[in-house]
């Protein structure tokens, strides 16, 4: 399996994307995931945001990644598609992200729904809206041979029944799932059961622990975690993560395990990286280099 990380670990440290590449190189991490910005952001332009804008030329950026020995495992275009703004804002954004990802050699684009039930729409209306949106998106994905991953992060996607319905929106082989161990747990689900149900559809994994205090305060009342303020192995989700890794091993999963946690400018994500590498070794899982 590949080990990677999401650059949102360094949001609070106000790192640039290139500084994240430097961190990856120092710690021998070969895979990276970041958010995509559709437009101009002053804080990104000043070098204080660890994500990438769609106006940046993908081929030139790919040369920079090559210099650091790093590749994209996925790019994050997770504007919520379940609300009324989904077709207007989210669909064009995801389609642009797919074409950009294809040029830079990134295999996956991440998508999701909103955190809450959409205002002004029934569940049935919202699901019908998303089905139309995903079918439009998948036409582009199939043309570019890019996987569109649905991440459990919101009202519909952390419910296994509606996640199953969403993954049945199309029979396209490019509609897959991005498993998230932290979001499923904080939503009150069992991450091991959730992964077991959807294991054949998984093409990317977010590895995220949950602190005891956060779980006690909001578990079952929220559908996602923006950034976990808990290192891997340091929270109440650690055993679930181990079991999920065993399931992935037994299914011959060969994709990326993308660490999602607050970096604290390095220390917390370094602790997470050490725990993940040690746990993979305990489970007899080889890290792809």
**Segments making up each domain of the chain, as ranges:** 2-282
Q: What is the average pLDDT score of the chain?
A: 97
Euclidean distance between CA atoms 161 and 99, whole angstroms: 31
253 beta partners: none
Q: Which of 6, 120, 83, 85 is nearest to 52 (CA)?
A: 6
For the chain, percent helix, then strand, then coil, each to nearest 5? 45, 15, 35
H/E run at residue 190: none
Tokens read off for 94: 């995801």
Helices 123-144 and 160-167 sit at what angle, rounded to 10 degrees? Answer: 40
Q: Is the pLDDT of residue 39 over 90?
A: yes
Tell me how far CA of residue 162 lies from CA of 14, 74, 168, 238, 267, in angstroms.
36, 23, 10, 26, 37
Confidence of residue 4 (pLDDT cuts 50, 70, 90): very high
Quick one: pLDDT at residue 117? Answer: 96
Segment 57-102, tens digit of pLDDT: 999 999 999 999 999 999 999 999 999 999 999 999 999 999 999 9
Q: Which pLDDT band, with edges at 50, 70 and 90, does 146 fall under?
A: very high
The whole-number pLDDT of residue 157 equals 98
Check residue 91 and give its pLDDT. 98
Residue 28 Rama label (left phi>0; alpha psi -120 to 50; beta): left
The predicted structure's pLDDT at residue 289 = 79
In CATH terms, the fold of domain 2-282 is TIM Barrel (3.20.20)
Whole-number Å distance between alpha carbons of 12 and 135: 36
The pLDDT > 70 percentage for the chain reads 100
The rounded distance, in Å, linking the Cα atoms of 16 and 22 is 10
201 pLDDT exceeds 90? yes
pLDDT in tens, 218-251: 999 999 998 999 999 999 999 999 999 999 999 9
Question: What is the pLDDT at residue 80?
Answer: 98
In this predicted structure, the answer to whether residue 195 has a pLDDT above a threshold of 90 is yes
157/151 Cα distance (integer angstroms): 7
**In contact, 174 and 141? CB cutoff 8 Å:** yes
């Amino acid at each position: 399996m590949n080990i990677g990380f999401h650059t949102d670990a360094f949001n609070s440290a106000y790192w640039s994307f290139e500084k994240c590449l430097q961190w990856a190189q120092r710690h021998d991490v070969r895979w990276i995931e970041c958010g995509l910005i559709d437009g101009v952001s002053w804080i990104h332009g000043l070098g204080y945001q660890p994500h990438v804008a769609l106006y940046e030329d993908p081929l030139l950026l790919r040369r920079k990644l090559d210099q650091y020995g790093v590749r994209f495992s996925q790019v994050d275009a997770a504007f919520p598609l379940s609300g009324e703004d989904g077709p207007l804002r989210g669909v064009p954004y995801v389609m642009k992200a797919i074409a950009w990802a294809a040029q830079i050699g990134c295999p996956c684009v991440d998508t999701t729904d909103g955190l809450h039930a959409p205002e002004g729409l029934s569940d049935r209306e919202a699901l019908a809206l998303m089905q139309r949106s995903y079918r439009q998106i998948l036409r582009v994905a199939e043309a570019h041979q890019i996987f569109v991953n649905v991440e459990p992060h919101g009202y519909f996607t952390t419910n296994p029944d509606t996640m199953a319905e969403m993954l049945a929106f199309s029979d396209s082989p490019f509609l897959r799932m991005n498993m998230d161990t932290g979001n499923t747990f904080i939503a009150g689900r069992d991450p091991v059961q959730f992964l077991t149900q959807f294991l054949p559809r998984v093409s990317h994994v977010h590895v995220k622990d949950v602190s005891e205090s956060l779980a006690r305060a909001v578990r079952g009342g929220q559908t996602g975690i923006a950034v976990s303020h808990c290192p891997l192995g340091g929270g109440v989700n650690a055993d679930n993560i181990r079991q999920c890794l065993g399931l992935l091993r037994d299914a011959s999963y060969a994709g990326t395990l993308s660490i999602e946690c607050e970096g604290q400018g390095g220390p917390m994500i370094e602790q997470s990286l050490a725990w993940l590498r040690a746990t993979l070794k305990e489970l007899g899982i080889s890290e792809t280099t």
